[in-house]
Amino acid sequence: MATEVKVPTLGESVTEATVGELLKNVGDAVAVDEPIISLETDKVAVEAPSPVAGVIKEFKVAVGDTVEVEAVIAVIEEGAAPAAKGAEAGRAQEERAEGKQERADTPAPAASSDAAQTLSPAVRRAVLEHGVDPSTIKGTGKDGRLTKEDVIAAAKAKQDGGSAPAAASGVPAAGAGERREERVKMTRMRQTIAKRLKGAQDNAALLTTFNDVDMSAVMEARSKYKDLFAKKHDIRLGFMGFFAKAACLALKDVPAVNAYIEGDEIVYHDYVDISVAVSAPNGLVVPVIRDAQDKGFARIEQDIADFGKRAKEGTLTMDDMKGGTFTISNGGVFGSLMSTPIINPPQSAVLGLHRIEDRPVVVNGEIVIRPMMYIALSYDHRLIDGREAVTALKIIKEAIEDPTRMLIDL
């Protein structure tokens, strides 16, 4: 008996996705709920599972196809049908899928000797995540193609002090002085990021205000309590918890920074849902710490650590990123000294954090060296006045420089 596999529900207001990877081949046996196709939506990757146990008879889609919710994407033959029979029946379909994948992922080669490797989205993510050169890895997939396992094995060999497997013979090494180009279709997530950020510039009156923060008090508190904190809560005490709680103070006192414009109305919130910008293999994602105003440092740090882990694994869900009233983006982890972050629509403000570095400052008439950080607040000037933006940033600065304020709600 043949059973159709359909595109699952992707989330609120999400009606279509792009086929990112075929996780199985025609003729492969699958178990109930075993993922067979990875689908890329505007924000996350979603896996489509098999509803029955059986053998994959046919794929109705290829990598790069756009599919809608409830569209049929594969056919499963229930029971233990011989894999060879299923493979023979679907061979033409598989070849069509591979051909389409190659057209979607790589440019038309100028000559056969310059043909570039074809990398599936999953392999590309693994290459970016592990920082390896795909041209130095020998592929074990069909026709010598790289698999995700090949990349992971090469990264492990590199970490252990060995060298990556030799490049596949079908991929020639670049000659001296030779210059190459690669044309790769943007992922659905990258397209969405581009549209949203450009939309923010087009629709909002963006302005950024800056301040600098003496991080001495927070660094001293972390140094004094980090071991006890980790022992009690089983999580590392980071800087983000301090800034999240400081932001909650600021948004309480300046509610416009926690609001947004909808039509000719302003929507205010009596809660703070903080979107935290997290780097994922295929782009920036912003999962949400909900009701941050009611959470302690430990819970906030646990949420952030969980988001970072799942972003790396590609297991964040649409619900994780839905909503959000304010965003914190930490470019300092990449070494940024100063930036003008762009708001995350429909939000009206974003706090940008940057690297900490020792700088000379004047304290009580004397020049001293202190660990300083520049902070930036970008905001929609249609809703937030300059006075309100400066006040909110000043509250954050004062709370970080004197963390006791966060305990006594000042």
Q: Report the percentage of the chain scoring pLDDT > 90.
A: 37
CATH 4.10.320.10 residue spans of the chain? 107-185
Q: Amino acid identity of 407?
A: L
pLDDT band for position 283 (cuts 50, 70, 90)? low
60-69, 129-138, 303-312: least confident range: 129-138
CATH 2.40.50.100 residue spans of the chain? 2-105
pTM assigned to the model: 0.65
Asked if pLDDT for residue 274 goes beyond 90, the answer is yes
- Condensed to tens digits (0 to 9), the pLDDT of residues 312-354 reads 877 888 788 888 999 999 988 888 999 999 998 899 999 999 9
Asked if pLDDT for residue 305 goes beyond 50, the answer is yes
CATH 3.30.559.10 residue spans of the chain? 188-407
Pick the CATH number of 188-407 from 3.40.50.1820, 3.30.559.10, 1.10.3720.10, 3.40.50.300: 3.30.559.10
Query: Which one, of 129, 128, 126, 147, lies nearest residue 138 by Cα?
Result: 147
* Separation CA 265–CA 263 (nearest Å): 6
Q: Are 407 and 248 in contact (CB under 8 A)?
A: no
170-184, 185-199, 342-356, 359-373: least confident range: 170-184
Residue 318: both structure tokens together: 């649409």
157-161, 209-213, 262-266, 353-357: least confident range: 157-161
The half-sphere exposure of 304 on its side-chain side, counting CA atoms within 13 A, is 25
Query: Which one, of 287, 253, 256, 294, lies nearest residue 272 by Cα?
Result: 294
Residue 78: both structure tokens together: 């229930």
95-104, 211-220, 274-283: least confident range: 95-104
CA 65 to chain centre: 22
Backbone angles phi, psi at 26, to 5 degrees: -60, 130
* Separation CA 221–CA 254 (nearest Å): 27
- Condensed to tens digits (0 to 9), the pLDDT of residues 86-105 reads 444 444 444 444 444 443 34
> Can you tell me whether residue 127 is helix, strand or coil?
helix
- Condensed to tens digits (0 to 9), the pLDDT of residues 125-182 reads 677 777 777 778 877 765 576 777 788 888 888 776 654 444 444 445 556 678 888 8
The DSSP secondary structure of 55-79, one letter per residue, reads: EEEEES--TT-EEETT-EEEEEEES
Query: Which one, of 28, 46, 134, lies nearest residue 87 by Cα?
Result: 28
Which CATH fold topology does 107-185 show? Dihydrolipoamide Transferase (4.10.320)
pLDDT band for position 201 (cuts 50, 70, 90)? confident
Q: What does the pLDDT average to over 74-95?
A: 55
- Condensed to tens digits (0 to 9), the pLDDT of residues 27-62 reads 888 888 888 888 877 667 777 888 888 888 888 888
* Separation CA 308–CA 259 (nearest Å): 26
Catalogue the active-site residues: 381, 385
Q: Amino acid identity of 366?
A: E
Asked if pLDDT for residue 372 goes beyond 90, the answer is yes
The DSSP secondary structure of 261-301, one letter per residue, reads: EETTEEE--SS--EEE-EEETTEEE--EETTGGG--HHHHH
Q: Which residue has the tokens 């619900």?
A: 319
pLDDT band for position 190 (cuts 50, 70, 90)? confident
8-22, 158-172, 207-221, 241-255: least confident range: 158-172
Backbone angles phi, psi at 179, to 5 degrees: -115, 140
Res 34: pLDDT = 86
Which CATH fold topology does 2-105 show? OB fold (Dihydrolipoamide Acetyltransferase, E2P) (2.40.50)
